[in-house]
Amino acid sequence: MDSVLVSACLRGVPCRFDGRDKASPEVDEAVEGRAVVSFCPEAAGGLPTPRRPAELVGGDGHDVLDGTARVVDDTGHDVTAEFIEGARRALVAARSGGCTEALLMPRSPSCGRGLVHDGSFEGKLVSGDGVTAALFERNGITVRSAPGA
Ligand code: SF4
């Protein structure tokens, strides 16, 4: 079976914006027996941990890749470039590791698949993908939202 790229926070790496992890027994079970590449796009893009929470503004990750939306943190600081760089590095890691599939953290502005926060920082969700999830989909890597996270 092919390798799978997994959001690093789901594998117990404390790389979330709040400095915590999201270790998940369901995820461990889902990837059991497979080669796993654990990766955090936001850290790889140069953002510190902990960091301010960020959301997609003006569209989803596909729109960010197309240059028509941005990623900003809750102070209004634009972190679009870091998110795009992290997504690019994640794609390189996925390809290097032979991954045809990714199991990613739900609702994240990088890793979210299908639902993301709406940019209001009020906990509201809208349809859409994170920046890394969008880049993976555009490059033939099947993205699934992690169970139980
Ligand atoms: Fe987890 Fe992805 Fe956020 Fe990194 S960018 S902390 S891997 S959800």
The pLDDT tens digits for 59-75 are: 999 999 999 999 999 99
pTM strictly above 0.95: yes
Place of tokens 């953290």: 105
- Ligand 1 centroid–CA 103 distance in Å is 11
Beta-carbon neighbour count of residue 51 at 10 Å?
A: 18
Span 115-134, pLDDT tens digits: 999 999 999 999 999 999 99
Q: Average pLDDT for residues 74-90, to the nearest whole number?
A: 98
> Which atom of ligand 1 is nearest the CA belonging to 8?
7
Q: Which of 48, 38, 44 is nearest to 9 (CA)?
A: 38
Burial class (CB in 10 A: 0-12, 13-18, 19+), 2: exposed
Q: Is 8 in the pocket of ligand 1 (CB under 6 A)?
A: yes
